[in-house]
């Protein structure tokens, strides 16, 4: 039985230029996957920058918007950072994504490269689990005007400057004043992002099915300022009250410098990311493997 997906795109870690032994391995890995997909009856295209940076030829190339418009599946080969960037760009097209891990942790690129043939074969025939992840829509408002606009799958982080002291932030939820917080910063994380920076700052793990966000202070001045889980239907606003050189970043991949009085307004995006996982996939299996739970237990 051939693949139910006819037009499949391959995207690698295209932000860096492949060189040396690691570059050759990445190029060979992508070509191995392309050959496998072709043998399964798929029409294979490469994302333009991936093909250019990896020196891959002999396949059609498309940019990301064209992949979203023309392809019915996208395979992302790399780490979670690669998947985050592509997931945001393809979310409004509704193209499902499969992640093949060549990074370190691999919470959302969860298929090991060394088992991609045995894992992908049944998935291409329709034997998979589908997993939807919510996105945040963040805007930086200055004097009533939007000066920066971004989507985030993991988190929105407001940070103090590298050489300055704490920032003071006014936090509102659905227009209701919550508190003024003095801290090194504040994280708003999705369930997907609850295993990233928010976790290292003391936040809880959120199961992906929970329609919520977690608000996590970074090194708060008042120790009773603790993480709180909020509905993702809420609008969260963070205003810069005091502190120098504050900034906001979105999935650690885009940045906006902030002034006093700027407001970072975060709402739920109308788009979500579609992940496909092998049949029988469980979020708890991922946590157990990536966080090394249960090790040393007889």
Tens-place pLDDT, residues 153-209 = 999 999 998 777 899 999 999 999 999 999 999 999 999 999 999 999 999 999 999
Question: pLDDT at position 208, please?
Answer: 94
- 214 and 262 share one domain: yes
115 and 37 co-located in one domain: yes
State residue 297's pLDDT score: 60
- Residues 245, 162: contact at Cβ < 8 Å? yes
For residues 151 and 253, state if they share a domain.
Answer: yes
Among the candidates 109, 126, 143, a domain finishes at: 126
- Residue 18 maps to a domain: yes
248 and 266 inside one domain: yes
- Looking at the fold, whether 207 and 122 belong to one and the same domain comes out as no
pLDDT of 136 reads 98
pLDDT for the residue numbered 211:
97
**Is the same domain home to 14 and 39?**
yes
Q: What is the mean pLDDT of residues 86-110?
A: 89
Instruction: Place 106 in a pLDDT band, splitting at 50, 70 and 90.
Output: confident
Q: Is there a contact between 73 and 43 (Cβ–Cβ < 8 Å)?
A: no
- The answer to whether position 86 is within a domain reads yes
Average pLDDT over residues 46-60: 93
Whether residue 168 is found in the same domain as residue 264 = yes
Q: Mean pLDDT, to the nearest integer, of 241-264?
A: 91
Q: Domain of 115: which CATH number? A: 3.40.50.10330
Q: How many Cα atoms are found within 13 Å in the side-chain-facing hemisphere of 80?
A: 15
Active site residue: 49, 72, 80, 127, which one? 80
Q: Known catalytic residue: 262? A: no
pTM for the model stands at 0.91
pLDDT at residue number 103: 64
Reported confidence tier of residue 17, pLDDT bands at 50, 70, 90: very low
Question: Considering the chain, what percentage of its residues have pLDDT values greater than 90?
Answer: 77
Q: Who has greater pLDDT, 243 or 295?
A: 243
State yes or no: pLDDT of 253 exceeds 90: no
Cβ pair 262, 140 in contact under 8 A = yes
**Spatial distance between the Cα atoms of 135 and 192, rounded to a whole number of angstroms:** 9
Q: What is the mean pLDDT of residues 247-276?
A: 94
Domain boundary among 126, 154, 169: 126
Find the domain containing 28 and state its range.
7-126
Do 26 and 99 belong together in one domain? yes
Confidence tier at 22 by pLDDT (50, 70, 90): low
Q: Are residues 120 and 139 in the same domain?
A: no
**Structural contact between residues 98 and 109, judged by C-beta atoms closer than 8 angstroms:** no
Q: For the chain, how many structural domains are there in total?
A: 2
- Residue 283 counted as domain residue: no
First to last CA, the chain: 42
pLDDT number for residue 21: 44
CA dist list (Å): 180 to 198, 246, 263 = 20, 16, 13
Among 104, 126, 148, the domain boundary falls at 126
The set of residues, in sequence order, having a beta carbon less than 8 Å from that of 133 and lying 6+ positions away, is: 87, 108, 153, 190, 191, 192, 208, 272, 273, 275
Where residue 264 sits, what CATH number does that domain have? 2.60.200.30
Which residues are 230's β-sheet partners? 213
Residues 171, 70 within the same domain: no
């Amino acid at each position: 039985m051939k693949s139910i997906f006819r037009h499949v795109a391959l995207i690698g870690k295209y932000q860096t230029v492949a060189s040396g032994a690691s570059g050759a391995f990445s190029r060979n890995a992508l070509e191995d996957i392309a050959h496998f997909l072709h043998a399964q009856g798929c029409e294979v295209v490469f994302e333009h920058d991936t093909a250019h940076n990896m020196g891959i030829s002999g396949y059609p190339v498309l940019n990301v918007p064209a992949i979203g418009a023309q392809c019915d599946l996208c395979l992302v080969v790399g780490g979670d950072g690669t998947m985050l960037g592509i997931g945001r760009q393809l979310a409004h097209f509704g193209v499902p994504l499969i992640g093949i891990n060549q990074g370190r942790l691999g919470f959302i690129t969860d298929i090991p490269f060394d088992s991609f043939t045995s894992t992908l074969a049944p998935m291409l025939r329709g034997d998979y689990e589908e997993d939807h992840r919510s996105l945040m829509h963040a805007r930086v408002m200055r004097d009533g005007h939007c000066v920066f606009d971004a989507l985030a799958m993991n988190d929105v982080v407001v940070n103090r400057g590298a050489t300055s002291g704490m920032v003071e932030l006014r936090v509102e939820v659905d227009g209701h004043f919550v508190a003024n917080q003095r801290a090194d910063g504040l994280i708003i994380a999705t369930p997907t992002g609850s295993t990233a920076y928010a976790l290292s700052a003391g936040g809880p793990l959120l199961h992906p099915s929970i329609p919520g966000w977690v608000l996590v202070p970074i090194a708060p001045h008042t120790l009773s300022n603790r993480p709180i889980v909020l509905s993702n239907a809420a609008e969260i606003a963070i205003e810069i009250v005091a502190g120098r050189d504050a900034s906001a970043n979105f999935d650690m991949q885009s940045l906006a410098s902030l002034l006093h009085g700027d407001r970072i307004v975060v709402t739920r995006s109308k788009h979500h990311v579609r992940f496909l996982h092998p049949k029988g996939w469980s979020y708890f299996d991922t946590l157990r493997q990536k966080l090394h739970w249960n090790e040393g237990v007889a």
